Amino acid sequence: MRALYIGRFQPFHFGHLEVIRNILIENDELIIAIGSAQESHTKKNPFTAGERFEIIRANLVHEKFDLSKIYIVPVEDLNRNSLWVAHVRSMVPRFDKIYSNEPLVKILFNDAGYSVVNTPLFSRSEYSSTKVRETILNGGDWEKLVPVATRDYILRVNGVDRIVHINSSDKC
């Protein structure tokens, strides 16, 4: 069985890590789709698809996951819900089921005949990308909210400054 897991990973945190670990227990292979791949330098999407790819990969390596069982694929938005499933299917390797808690994703994939499984919840209030970005913005202790591989990458690309500057803009 090959599973699909879609997220924006802005940025990748402990919750994502646990979801991946659990999916790989229940499945042979996993596709991690990086959604909104064309977005970057906005309040909700500070990092490019390429940067998010590197962060995810660094985490997988750090956690010693078997890379031969995992595919990472950036997917641009299409902004047409009725075409979303067909778009994802064309961009990623074939998959058997999809993990998601997002109601829209569930409807669209269910209507297309896919089995949609809820991702296990790891205290969503505690681990969320929104919370990480807000903590960075407010000068809080964001480093404990993300794995070390995420932290190192953000520090290396000067991501804290980027998030602070972007949030002082009217444009994004």
Is residue 94 close enough to count as binding a second copy by CB under 8 A?
Answer: yes
In a 10 Å sphere around its CB, with 0-12 CB exposed, 13-18 middle and 19+ buried, how is residue 43 labelled?
Answer: middle
CB within 8 Å of 151: residues ≥ 6 apart: 143
Contacts (CB under 8 A) with a second copy, residues 146-165: 162, 165
Nearest of 11, 47, 50, 24 to residue 119 by alpha carbon? 24
Q: Is 132 in the site for a second copy (CB under 8 A)?
A: no
Integer angstrom CA distances of residue 43 from 10, 47, 142, 167: 10, 10, 16, 6
Task: Give yes or no for residue 140 binding a second copy (CB under 8 A).
Answer: no
For position 50 contacting a second copy by CB under 8 A, the verdict is yes
Q: Which of 1, 63, 67, 96 forms a contact with a second copy (CB under 8 A)?
A: 67
Q: Per rule CB under 8 A, is residue 80 in the interface with a second copy?
A: yes
90 binds a second copy (CB under 8 A): yes
Euclidean distance between CA atoms 31 and 88, whole angstroms: 11
Q: What are phi and psi of 50, to 5 degrees?
A: -65, -40
Q: What number of chain residues touch a second copy (CB under 8 A)?
A: 50
Neighbour count for residue 30 (Cβ, 10 Å): 23
In whole angstroms, how close is the CB of 120 to a second copy at the nearest point? Answer: 19
The SS3 call for residue 74 is strand
Determine which residue in the list 18, 22, 24, 76 makes contact with a second copy, applying CB under 8 A: 76
Residue 108 makes contact with a second copy by CB under 8 A? yes
Q: Is 24 in the site for a second copy (CB under 8 A)?
A: no
125 binds a second copy (CB under 8 A): no
Sign of CA pseudo-dihedral 105, 111, 112, 113: positive
CB of 96 to a second copy, least distance (A): 14
Q: What are the residues binding a second copy (CB under 8 A)?
A: 37-42, 48-51, 53-54, 57, 61, 67-68, 71-74, 76, 78, 80-83, 85-87, 89-94, 102-108, 162, 165-166, 168-172
